[in-house]
Structure formats: structure tokens, C-alpha cells
Amino acid sequence: MDKNLFLNIFKDTIRAITDKRYFSTERGYQGQLLAELNRRMESIKLIFQRESILEQEYQKTLDKHEITIKPDIIIHIPYEREGSKNRSSNNFVVIQIKLNASERRAKEDFRKLNLMFEKLSYPLGIFLNINSNETFYNSYSGDYKARLYCFAARLVNREVVLHESP
């Protein structure tokens, strides 16, 4: 997996969202982010695997996944498809989105990302704080900092100002 190649595609995706309405709600932004990621899915599949898909708010259940959280967006190959050894295999990216998050809210999402890293072996987790300049990367205290990338995106004069950490 070429993490840097995906992160470059992800940054281009964020920069493509330039309507101020999407920066006013998490749900609206998430929908547009999904649409923009879908436009780039053929390139994304070359980074991961051809069978990978993009899903939103997929409910993880305690009996199947050992967790009960809903990540905002995931890129993976569903377990039900052939070739998955277990629910921890073929997971690629998990994304959590917040609107102008406080440090406390960012830490809540970091806890969720940490669980996704630990229980489902996601190699890459992204925290995206929209309508903000703060990534809160230094507030992460989990065991998987090398897997975490944080972004903050704010719209200024119809242009996205993007902050990233690390």
C-alpha cells in the first residue's frame, strides 16, 4: 500500500470541495467527500486492491467486529467477499469527520480510530476537522500514531485552506 499516494489523492479530494454549504454540516461534507472520493475510486483501487469499496457509516457490531462504533467512511474489501481471511483483513482506510471540533470531540474520534486500528487492523486512519484550522494531532494519545493523519480544512474565498499533521 502506497500511503503517500493515497494521502495525495485525499488532499486533492478535500481541495475539490469548494461550496461553502458543505462546510456547515458534517453530513453534507461527508456526502460530498464520498462523491469526490468515488470520482477517484479507480486510482484508489490501484493503491489498494481492485475489489476495494468505499462505504459510509457502516455499523460495526460487537459480536462480529468486537466494537460498536460507526466510522464515517471506510475503504475496504467486505468480509463477505471471498479472499478475506477474517474481519481484520482487507481493511485499508478509516476516516472520521468533525465540524469545527473541540479538543474533547477530536479525542472522542481518536478513541474510535484507535479501536479501528486495534480491533480491525486498519493501517491508515484519518481525522478530518472541517471549517477549522486545528488538526489536534498532538492530542492523540493512542498506540498507533504512525497510522494517524490529521487534516483541518477551512474555506476562504472559495479556496480550501488545508492544514495537515504530521
Residue type, 2: D
Could you tell me how far CA 52 lies from the centroid of its own chain?
Answer: 15
pLDDT band with cut points at 50, 70 and 90 for residue 81: confident
Give the containing element (helix H, strand E) for 63: helix 62-65
Bridge partner list, 162: 153
- pTM exceeds 0.85: yes
Query: How many whole angstroms separate alpha carbon 5 and alpha carbon 165?
Result: 16
Checking if the pLDDT of 59 tops 70, the result is no
Percent of the chain whose pLDDT exceeds 70: 91
What does the domain layout of the chain look like in residue ranges?
Answer: 3-165
Pairing state of beta strands 159-165 and 53-56?
A: unpaired
CB 154 within 8 Å of CB 160? yes
Work out the number of other CB atoms within 10 angstroms of the CB of residue 83: 10
Q: CA neighbours within 13 Å on the CB side: how many for 5? A: 10
Give the type of residue at 55.
E
The amino acid present at 142, given as its one-letter code, is G
Per residue in 3-29, pLDDT (tens digit) is 999 999 999 999 999 999 999 999 999
First to last CA, the chain: 19
Q: Which residue has the higher pLDDT, 86 or 109?
A: 109
pLDDT of residue 80: 76
Least confident of 4-18, 61-75, 113-127: 61-75
DSSP assignment letter at 83: T
Separation CA 105–CA 88 (nearest Å): 26
Question: For the residues 79-105, what does the mean pLDDT come to?
Answer: 87
